[in-house]
Chains A and B, each alone.
Chain A
Amino acid sequence: MNYDQARYGDDERNEPLLSEKDSTALDPGEGSALPDDLTRDSLELPGLSEPELARHYTRLSQMNWSVEAGPYPLGSCTMKYNPSFADAVAADPNAAVHPDRDPETVQGNLELLHGLQEYLATIGGMDAVTLQPPAGAAGEFTGIAVAKAYHEHHGNDKSEVIIPASAHGTNFATAAMAGYDVVELPSGEDGRVDVEALEAAVSEDTAALMLTNPNTVGLFERDITEIADMVHDAGGLLYYDGANLNALLGRARPGDMGFDIMHYNVHKTFATPHGGGGPGAGPVGVVDELAPFLPRPRVREARSASNGDGERSDPSERDADDTATAADGGALTGHDHDHGHTDDAAQDDEYELFDPEHSIGKVHGFSGNWLVLIRAYAYIRRLGDEGLLDASAKATLNANYLASLLDMEVPYGPFHHEFAATAGDRDAADVAKGMLDYGVHPPTTKWPEMVPEAMLTEPTEVENKRSLEDLANAFNEAVADTDEELHAAPTKTTARRVDQTSAARNPRLSWHALGEAQRASENASGE
């Protein structure tokens, strides 16, 4: 394919920085209503007129790759098309409310959150869901914190989390953040969990095993039931990393496989835009036994109408894990009966917030990435059962079809929505740079390490046959290029090969640092 990415600027640089377009210094304290000792003395920032601003960011956008521009088969990232209607829904001005609103006055928000909790629980085969974690890694942290609270509650002395070597880096970092020792599990010869190695690793110290399924090379862990039993027998919990749920939609559910805790990566599976690196959302589902430990508050249907004395509902009608709560921050009239709100309002209520009995507390300042959650809810409603089932069908069909067209070996199979091809004696990172010149984004490279020179590829369901063939062509052309050609690549992108070593060795992390560097070199040449 003929392809040239936009390039603005000159021989030295692309589009100028905001600070190179304008830089205005002023003394904010001058004329301030505040006394001088409370104000800063200077502020120097760019200010652009609206037309200049529009041009600046339009140019930057044109120097950026995106799902809407073409294939973006980053393995493990599920770069689906993000439907426009979901953006439109999320832009509803009625949804743009403050988090401290009295829950009675934001019933629409609670209805959506409750609906999404239910959808996710059903899709994952879980009993209870929190929507608070703002990304997948935050979901992992929440899930492991829940496991830890559960173990502590039951007096279980646990110190280890087992993680397969092929797992995502966030799994390891999360377990360590939660204070656990990480036990790394080598992959079996077939690319799956080595059940014997697991048996050796599992002990009474095992707090949890973190797994993703299909795993990071797309293989289904066929021994999942045996694995679950093994961990459970040792008193451990099974954590499901939901990054790969797209492969399973409608075909298998983590809850049915024996997982106790999972996170959903809604920016992957449920098509919310990745936003250049976020925001995402990482809701967490758990089985009943762990529900009392979830972050607070959660949303539920109001149990009963007011009984007339300001009491919201008969506590005996509630689940053991439910206790009434006032929203944080002193929401208007609160939600607890101390604040004596009117009975009328209570009777109209359908949804309310509550604190799970042994809640781990908060994992986000408020209730998570709301604009992302709206889109996920809209997407699930749009697709319904048939759409979800077709998403996993076409995602898996696409990965298999694409792999069948490649002049590269795929060491492990049968795979589902993604596969790890090997670049063999070529450097996978170089092949990726070569692919950039074909008008596609390359796959994830050099990960997982179990595949040498891995090119972890996940086309998702949104590519059609023709586009997969173009993508295959990019792989095949690039891998056949000579080393010199690959080292010279890319040539058609906004920037040619970027010097990583220079960036790290001499960190220049703001335009202030550029100024200093420039001044330094000017001084040097002046000497």
Chain B
Amino acid sequence: MSGRSAGTGGSPFAPHTADETAAMLDALGVDDEAELFDIPEAVAFDGEFGIPQRDERTVRADLRDTFARNDDLTEFLGRGHYSHYVPAVVDDLSSRSEFLTSYTQYQPEITQGFLQALFEYQSILVELTGLSIANCSMYDAAAALAEAALLSDRVRSTSGSTVLVPEDLRDGKRGTLDNYVDGSDLTVETYPYADNTADLDALADAVDEDTTFVYAETPTVTGAIEPDLAAIGDLADEHDALFCVGSDPVALSLLEEPASVGADVVVGEAGALGLPASYGMGLGLFACSEEFLRQVPGRLVGKSEDADDRRAFTLTLQTREQHIRKERATSNICTNQAWVALRAAMHAAYLGPDGLVGLAEDCVRDAASVAASLDALDGVEAPLDDRHHFREFTVGVDDAPGVAAGLEERGFAVHVLDDETLQVCVTDLNVDAADDLVAAVAEVTA
């Protein structure tokens, strides 16, 4: 291998032999690559970052050691980042380099495979939401919510400028929304929750002619299934506000179809399918009704025909996008989460409708049964509301931080919401450890 860049401390991924490099330099009439650079002396850098080159094995070993510093805890964590068991075949197929190392389908003729996969992803979301358009991804649920609010600003002819969101919203969603609307005329206001879902009376008071967007979640951030979606949709509709529902594809397999309760837009975390726990990396679900076709943010794949009149897919309606419309684009998004969308579609197709519904049903039953077990303990109350739950629920204890610390010592991670409230999320990945969790809570609270 002598003569390769790698052998001389260069980039191991620059394949030039020394002879090739010499021949290329010679052809260009220069002695070395530095002569090709047109960088004024005043701003030139000497190349010394102080980062040593390491071989592959060393890097892998170092990083294995780094990650081994994470404590091995059984996580009962959710609140917007959910993971379910992802079958090995999804890892395998999605990791094929033909998918992983390709990019946006600017040349549809040579990227039919990915285009079709994205078209299938869009179609699955259309079925789950009941809305007729789904884009091929936003960054995450927070960005999708923020983009939906901006959409309302573009499509509502009314003078309204208030975006209404639940008071109990994940900080990451609220914070991202606040930043996205900062450059628009919109202002964000909240409506209260009662019993961990929308307080319908208070919401009715809050909605007025200035309201342009109403956002409701099901399940909510504490896992409660929203019982009043249709009524919320009616409120929004009466005031000509856009109604946006936040959910995820597993919950949508079982819960009321958003279109049937009047949703104009559905957003959420589609990485609940296909994505293992990944420290918050997500997949922004974005679907909306047909009337907003020209105002959708992000990429859309459509069906067309090729010169032989065979079916073909292509990115379409691109005049909405930044590379054509520049400052008048519907969004600044370019690179999205396509590969995660591919995985979500694979996972959905692997499960099929019965698998999806079964998984969703387990999310309901397991949450109820673990809550009941906790509730049976002295000094523990679960859930803290009268709702049905999906995956997660709140738990009342005397000293929540203390209980959580005790659980951590015993190998479990749960959420602490305040001094007296914990939150526990149960999925197929941790349900087998739920009895142990309950026993640990009993021990710690005793």
A interface residues, tally (CB under 8 Å): 209
Cβ of B331 < 8 Å from any Cβ of A?
yes
Measured between beta carbons, the chain A residues less than 8 angstroms from B360 are 28
Measured between beta carbons, the chain B residues less than 8 angstroms from A15 are 116
A41 to B324, CA, bound (A): 41
Cβ of B202 < 8 Å from any Cβ of A?
no
Contacting pair B401 A83 (CB below 8 A): no
A414 to B30, CA, bound (A): 13
Cβ of A280 < 8 Å from any Cβ of B?
yes
A444 to B103, CA, bound (A): 12
Cβ of A490 < 8 Å from any Cβ of B?
yes
Nearest CB in chain A: distance from B72 CB, A: 8
Measured between beta carbons, the chain A residues less than 8 angstroms from B95 are 87
A99 to B78, CA, bound (A): 9
Nearest CB in chain B: distance from A266 CB, A: 11
Contacting pair A50 B350 (CB below 8 A): yes
Contacting pair B311 A13 (CB below 8 A): yes
Measured between beta carbons, the chain A residues less than 8 angstroms from B103 are 72, 74, 77, 79, 274, 276-277
Could you tell me which residues of chain B, from 236 to 280, have a CB within 8 Å of some CB in chain A?
252-257, 260, 269, 276-280
Q: Among the listed stretches B134-142, B158-166, B376-384, B432-440, which one makes contact with chain A, having 4 or more residues with CB under 8 Å of it?
A: B134-142
Contacting pair A385 B172 (CB below 8 A): no
Measured between beta carbons, the chain A residues less than 8 angstroms from B45 are 125, 248, 250-253, 256
A134 to B404, CA, bound (A): 31
Contacting pair A447 B323 (CB below 8 A): yes
Closest 3 CB pairs of A and B: A47-B352, A366-B280, A362-B175
Subset of 17 A-B contacts with CB under 8 Å: A64-B99, A64-B113, A82-B97, A88-B60, A134-B140, A170-B322, A173-B326, A173-B329, A175-B327, A271-B13, A338-B401, A436-B109, A441-B107, A498-B314, A500-B314, A500-B316, A507-B317
Cβ of B191 < 8 Å from any Cβ of A?
no
Could you tell me which residues of chain B, from 106 to 152, have a CB within 8 Å of some CB in chain A?
106-114, 116-120, 122-124, 126-128, 132-134, 136-137, 139-143, 150
Cβ of B344 < 8 Å from any Cβ of A?
no
Measured between beta carbons, the chain A residues less than 8 angstroms from B316 are 500, 503-504, 507, 509
Measured between beta carbons, the chain A residues less than 8 angstroms from B102 are 64-67, 72, 274-276
- With A57-B93, A135-B336, A277-B136 in contact, is A396–B37 under 8 Å at CB? yes
B interface residues, tally (CB under 8 Å): 206
Could you say which of B23, B55, B139 has the most chain A C-beta atoms within 10 Å of its C-beta?
B139
A396 to B106, CA, bound (A): 24
Contacting pair A108 B404 (CB below 8 A): no
Measured between beta carbons, the chain B residues less than 8 angstroms from A447 are 323
Q: A96, A382, A496: which contacts B54 (Cβ < 8 A)? A: A382
Q: B279, B322, B354, B361: which contacts A173 (Cβ < 8 A)? A: B322
Nearest CB in chain A: distance from B385 CB, A: 15
- With A63-B113, A276-B102, A401-B27 in contact, is A169–B324 under 8 Å at CB? yes
* Interface contacts beyond A50-B89, A390-B10: sample of 15 additional A-B pairs, CB < 8 Å, sorted by A: A54-B89, A59-B113, A96-B277, A108-B66, A170-B323, A173-B329, A178-B183, A252-B39, A273-B101, A274-B102, A275-B100, A275-B340, A493-B109, A496-B307, A509-B302
Contacting pair B16 A141 (CB below 8 A): no
Measured between beta carbons, the chain A residues less than 8 angstroms from B128 are 43
Measured between beta carbons, the chain A residues less than 8 angstroms from B301 are 509
Cβ of B192 < 8 Å from any Cβ of A?
no
Contacting pair A96 B350 (CB below 8 A): no
Cβ of B349 < 8 Å from any Cβ of A?
yes
Nearest CB in chain A: distance from B405 CB, A: 5
Q: Among the listed stretches A315-323, A327-335, A420-428, A477-485, which one makes contact with chain B, having 4 or more residues with CB under 8 Å of it?
A: A327-335
Cβ of B84 < 8 Å from any Cβ of A?
no
A333 to B42, CA, bound (A): 51
Nearest CB in chain B: distance from A8 CB, A: 10
Could you say which of B15, B69, B79 has the most chain A C-beta atoms within 10 Å of its C-beta?
B69
Please give me the residue from chain B that is nearest to A87 by CB atom: B95
Nearest CB in chain A: distance from B345 CB, A: 8
Contacting pair A388 B388 (CB below 8 A): no
Contacting pair A366 B282 (CB below 8 A): yes
Cβ of A383 < 8 Å from any Cβ of B?
yes
Please give me the residue from chain B that is nearest to A508 by CB atom: B303
- With A24-B354, A176-B183 in contact, is A397–B100 under 8 Å at CB? no
Instruction: Give A63-98 as 1s and 0s: 1 = Cβ < 8 Å from B's Cβ atoms.
Output: 111111100101001011111010111011011111
Measured between beta carbons, the chain A residues less than 8 angstroms from B24 are 397-398, 401, 465
Q: Among the listed stretches A198-206, A230-238, A511-519, which one makes contact with chain B, having 4 or more residues with CB under 8 Å of it?
A: A511-519
Please give me the residue from chain A that is nearest to B401 by CB atom: A339
Cβ of B312 < 8 Å from any Cβ of A?
yes
Cβ of B77 < 8 Å from any Cβ of A?
yes
A276 to B51, CA, bound (A): 31
Cβ of B370 < 8 Å from any Cβ of A?
no
A383 to B13, CA, bound (A): 9
Measured between beta carbons, the chain B residues less than 8 angstroms from A251 are 37, 39, 44-45, 47
Q: A59, A95, A106, A365: which contacts B142 (Cβ < 8 A)? A: A365
Contacting pair B176 A137 (CB below 8 A): no
Nearest CB in chain B: distance from A419 CB, A: 12
- With A98-B75, A510-B122 in contact, is A66–B98 under 8 Å at CB? yes
Nearest CB in chain B: distance from A525 CB, A: 17
Nearest CB in chain B: distance from A338 CB, A: 8
A386 to B316, CA, bound (A): 43
Cβ of A219 < 8 Å from any Cβ of B?
yes
Contacting pair A141 B306 (CB below 8 A): no
Measured between beta carbons, the chain B residues less than 8 angstroms from A388 are 11, 47, 49, 51
Cβ of A18 < 8 Å from any Cβ of B?
yes
A441 to B72, CA, bound (A): 45
Cβ of A46 < 8 Å from any Cβ of B?
yes
Could you say which of A414, A494, A496 has the most chain B C-beta atoms within 10 Å of its C-beta?
A494
A252 to B184, CA, bound (A): 37
Contacting pair B9 A387 (CB below 8 A): yes
A43 to B365, CA, bound (A): 20
Q: B63, B83, B327, B340: which contacts A279 (Cβ < 8 A)? A: B340
Instruction: Give A251-265 as 1s and 0s: 1 = Cβ < 8 Å from B's Cβ atoms.
Output: 111001100000000
A71 to B379, CA, bound (A): 65
Could you tell me which residues of chain B, from 360 to 411, have a CB within 8 Å of some CB in chain A?
360-361, 364-365, 368, 388, 401-402, 404-405, 407-408
Measured between beta carbons, the chain B residues less than 8 angstroms from A174 are 332
Measured between beta carbons, the chain A residues less than 8 angstroms from B92 are 54
Could you say which of A17, A24, A89, A330 has the most chain B C-beta atoms within 10 Å of its C-beta?
A330
Cβ of B36 < 8 Å from any Cβ of A?
yes
Contacting pair B317 A382 (CB below 8 A): no
